Amino acid sequence: MSLNPFTARAGARAPFLPGVYGTEGIYLDNSFTSAYHGMQLEVNRRFSKGLQFNTSYSLMKSLDSSSTTTLGGCLSNPFDLRSDRGRSDFDRRHAFVFSGVWSPAIHADQKGFLGRILGGWTASGFETIQSGSPVTPVAGQNTALDGNICGGSAIHPNQVGAIEREHSSRADMITTFFNKEAFATPAIGTYGSAGRNIFSGPALVSTDLAILKDIRVRESHRFQFRAEFFNLFNQVNFDNPVANLASATYGRITGSQAGRAIQLGLKYLW
């Protein structure tokens, strides 16, 4: 049976100014508040004897009702605004970052054949380790028949079981990242009970490295060779799993971030 006769009368059932405001508006209100709690530890070394580094670790939790950078967002349940309050889209429970530069003073003047080979090197690196980003399950269909402009991508499903599951292998994790039976499609005319951003996707680990070699030609002239390695160890950082109950790939990880990339460069400075 087509749902069109029901959705056509959705405007009369709108919770905000029925028949006047309509249901296809974007909600904007001061109830879209946010809160952040966190602890940050830092260990830094200023540049001395050719070495400098910065490290930081954050244990945090960010909560809001909408992480959109535009004016407002769709409501999963306009009759219960708190159902959209949850972890921010950018929340990472654990985050570690390291960056550093090492320029050994060995043969800095680059005199002689050995000095030309061993002198003028600089290495810099950047390490990032983060917990997974939040995931919001969605029903994939507008079971509430409320005319929401975001349709099924805004309606949450019902949570009927535990979300997390053990992974026997990487292939198993990719195929079924979370317990798909934990969610069920709400009955027609109802909203789901599951919250927003209620579980986390895969973690992220990435290492970047740059190696520079200055080759002095004259007092103020030099060649500079640069080799840059992005995601040096070619670590696989998976995207979040599909959490749309109506999708054929529901529960599956379908993509990942970029693999290792190498960039080489040579320039002349004077």
Domain positions in the chain: 4-27+36-269
pLDDT value for 72? 64
Is residue 197 over pLDDT 60? yes
Instruction: Determine the average pLDDT of the residues in 165-171.
Output: 96
**What is the token pair recorded at 64?**
């809001």
**pLDDT, tens only, 199-256:** 999 999 999 999 999 888 777 788 889 999 999 999 999 999 999 999 999 999 999 9
pLDDT, greater one: 148 or 4: 148
In this prediction, residue 24 carries a pLDDT of 58
Query: Does pLDDT of 178 surpass 80?
Result: yes
The pLDDT score that the predictor gives to residue 243 is: 97
pLDDT in tens, 19-59: 555 565 555 555 567 899 999 999 999 999 899 999 999 99
Summarize pLDDT for 60-93 with one digit per residue, the tens: 999 998 887 766 677 888 888 888 899 999 999 9
Give 211's strand partners: 123, 227
Cα-flanking dihedrals φ and ψ of residue 172, to 5°? -65, -40
Nearest in space to 204 (alpha carbons), one of 235, 249, 173: 235
CA distance 119 to 50: 12
Q: How far is CA 69 from the centre of its chain?
A: 15
- Identify which of 70, 231, 219 has the alpha carbon closest to the alpha carbon of residue 150: 70
Residue 149 has pLDDT above 80, yes or no: no
SS3 of 157-176: the string is CEECCCCCCCCCCHHHHHHC
The pair phi, psi for residue 132, each rounded to 5°, is: -70, 155
231 vs 110, higher pLDDT? 231
Cβ-in-10-Å burial (0-12, 13-18, 19+) of 166 comes to: exposed
* Average pLDDT, rounded, for the chain: 88
pLDDT above 90 covers a percentage of the chain that reads 62
